A and B are shown apart, each in its own frame.
Chain A
Amino acid sequence: MSLPLHVSDLQVSTPGGRVLLTCSLFQAGPGETIGLRGPSGAGKSTFLYALAGLHPAMTGHIRWGDTDLVQLTDGARAAFRRNHIGLIFQDFLLFEELSALGNAALATSFNPASKRRLIVNTAERFLKSLNVPADARTVDSFSGGERQRTAIARALAHDPAIILADEPTASLDRKTADGLIEDLIGLTRAQNKTLVAVSHDPHLLERMDRVIDVEDGRLQTEAAGV
């Protein structure tokens, strides 16, 4: 399943009413890879989290296909993420007490029984293709690269159409980061998924179809690659 993105008249505010980000128009086709760059505090992550439907105070429209996240309730947004979005974070956010598979197949805990087998199988497949140790070890003994690969497998395990990544290489050394970029881009392209990644890493941004600058809470220029 592929989902085109159409954002219009978006305004994201704090619960107190302060405006964090505005975006009059932004579009992305299914399977596109898009980088978001800009100084710290410019609103990149805010835009990314808005695309995931995580901000409680939003107006305007964020349409993934026919679904407008802004109009949905919290529960419906969570259901949308559960079905269509995979998230990757800068500091991995793994459960240290679980194994690689335990983390990658985390969604089995809250998905219906009918989907659990598929999620586990997909998680196993991605862990294998990403060369993550598949033993029963907990991930607290893993290197940074192994942890982020585990996080990628978790983001892909439920076969989402959209991958949203927040500084996925920022906690990794150069060599590990480059390897991870190859894996992330390779997998998303091979699976025809839409990737939106916030990053300061030029190595990652140069592999994107497009890069958007975000400054002072606004989406600025668009460039085809860097």
Chain B
Amino acid sequence: MSEALIDLWQNLSPLSQDILWLAMLLLPAVATGLIVTWGFRPGALAGALLWRFRWTNLTFIALIAISIGIGVGLIAQERGLRKGTARAAEKFDLIVAAPGSEITMMFAAVYLQPSDVPLLDGDIYTEIATHADVDLAAPIAFGDSYLSSPVVGTTPQFVTHLAGELDEGRMFTASGEAVAGSRVELQIGETFEPAHGVGDSAEEEAHAGHAVKIVGRMPPTGSPWDRAILVPVESVWEVHGLTNGHSPEHKTRIGPPFDADYFPGTPAILVHANELWANYALRSEFTRDDTMAFFPGAVLAQLHSLMGDIRQIMSVMAVLTQVLVTAGVLTGLIALARLFARRLALLRALGAPGRFVFAVVWSYAATLIVLGAAAGLGAGWIAVDVISSIVTSRTDILVTATLDWPEFHLIAGFVSLTVLLALLPAFMAMSRNIITDLRA
């Protein structure tokens, strides 16, 4: 029976599963509502209580909304960041670098957070570039910068691999030319002098006299490369006073083939295999004493699985915070219930069953919770937008987080849990002494 159910469940589309989950999570709330209000019409009186204490009620709703908004906003954000980092790493199938930390190299080569790393020499580059399974082997030479933009030396083939057709201008064809990322403020035709290093430690004057001209602009990629300026790798070598990867006869050439004897070294090589399976063979082949080969996607997946644990903790903490806020609100309701205790006593005196008074107070509290949750959904939407724009501008990784089923499920679970908690003030209101309250 249970296996049949599992089969049935797994045969459903993801959308159907999400909708069913939502329904199941809301079921306790709906069932409680039906059971509590069965046979009664508490709406008008609950509405009267809501209106009578409207400012206090609005405060309660706002408190619930803000706690839910922040909770779901953060969870949606975490998912958005994961998708954003994965999208930014999409084009980086396989990276070959000198042995060291995969994470450090991934941050440097994929997310352009450079570190000092050893270089791979020309022989290794040639070995990779000429491998039968390799479609594209591009040096990625980072370490220079212009203002907040990393200046990365590479090949025209890599630019096309990364961004496709250029949005404006043309590909660099000579040393001293550059293609700008979509968010670089330099216009086509403008020139700049790269600094050695990045950030506060950059040496502004180190490459003085090596003016570089912007000749093209890439379309947006949603990655830190949108802020980068891509130059021929030959240009990077030249400004550092090194040979430019080509023999003197071909010294004006831009891009491969490079001559191993004139190849000064590169911190990383992006490898794109001609077949998917070949990536695995290449990774095995270049995982050896003098080289390290890794899939940025796999490293990212490891990081994400670590973050997955944190996400679960975050989800639990978010629900817990929301429940605590609601418990606070319900405690406030118990205090508020004293203010309308006389009206409730009147209902009892007129012959209303205790269960009716229970239903009125519960409906009142449940309305606050449901309105708070609905407003929280709106607050979450705004929070996600605000946090996304902050994260995007801080990391240059395009984060387009939106509220999705997990957040709807979270809110549904919250509503079900707290409307059950709302039974408590309802019970307390029902158990009061009628005569004492009538004479109050």
Contact = CB atoms under 8 A, between A and B. Distances in A.
A80 B350 CA distance: 10
Interface residues of B, number: 27
Given A15-B433, A93-B342, A110 B347 contact: yes
Interface string B316-357: 000000000000000000000000001100111111111010
A100 B41 CA distance: 18
Interface string A45-78: 1000100101110000000000000000011001
A44 to B, nearest CB: 13
B280 interface: no
A52 B353 contact: no
B44 interface: yes
Nearest to A112: B39
Interface residues of A, number: 31
B354 A74 contact: yes
Contacts of A107: 350-352
B41 A108 contact: yes
Nearest to A49: B435
A182 interface: no
Contacts of B343: 93, 95
Contacts of B347: 106, 110
B350 A95 contact: no
Interface string A65-104: 0000000001100111111010101000101111000100
B52 A96 contact: yes
A109 interface: yes
B434 interface: yes
B45 interface: yes
Contacts of A85: 351
Given A98-B48, A110-B40, A82 B351 contact: yes
B405 interface: no
Contacts of A78: 348, 351-354
A52 B435 CA distance: 11
A109 B51 contact: no
Interface string B29-48: 00000000001111011011
B351 A102 contact: no
B435 to A, nearest CB: 6
A54 B348 CA distance: 9
Contacts of A83: 351
Given A81-B349, A81-B351, A98 B52 contact: no
A109 B42 CA distance: 6
Nearest to B54: A97
A75 B44 contact: no
Contacts of A106: 45, 347, 350
A49 B47 CA distance: 29
B352 A110 contact: yes
Nearest to A56: B433
B435 A55 contact: yes
A87 B349 contact: yes
B45 to A, nearest CB: 6
A79 B24 CA distance: 37
Nearest to B349: A87
A74 B432 CA distance: 13
A197 to B, nearest CB: 16
A82 B439 CA distance: 20
A55 B352 CA distance: 15
A79 B348 CA distance: 10
B353 A54 contact: no
From B42, B347, B350, B352, residue with most partner A Cβ within 10 Å: B350
Given A87-B349, A87-B350, A109 B433 contact: no
Contacts of B438: 49, 54, 89, 93
A74 B353 CA distance: 9
Contacts of B351: 78-83, 85, 107, 110
Given A80-B351, A87-B349, A97-B48, A110 B342 contact: no
Given A82-B353, A93-B438, 16 more contacts: A52-B349, A54-B435, A78-B354, A79-B353, A81-B351, A82-B350, A89-B438, A97-B47, A98-B44, A98-B48, A102-B44, A108-B41, A109-B44, A109-B45, A110-B347, A110-B352
Interface of A: 15, 45, 49, 52, 54-56, 74-75, 78-83, 85, 87, 89, 93, 95-98, 102, 106-110, 112, 154
Across the A-B interface, the 5 shortest Cβ-Cβ residue pairs: A82-B351, A81-B351, A97-B48, A110-B356, A110-B352
27 contacts: A15-B433, A45-B439, A54-B348, A54-B349, A54-B434, A54-B435, A54-B438, A56-B433, A74-B354, A78-B351, A79-B351, A79-B353, A80-B351, A87-B350, A93-B343, A95-B343, A97-B48, A98-B44, A106-B45, A106-B347, A108-B41, A109-B40, A109-B41, A109-B44, A109-B352, A110-B347, A110-B356
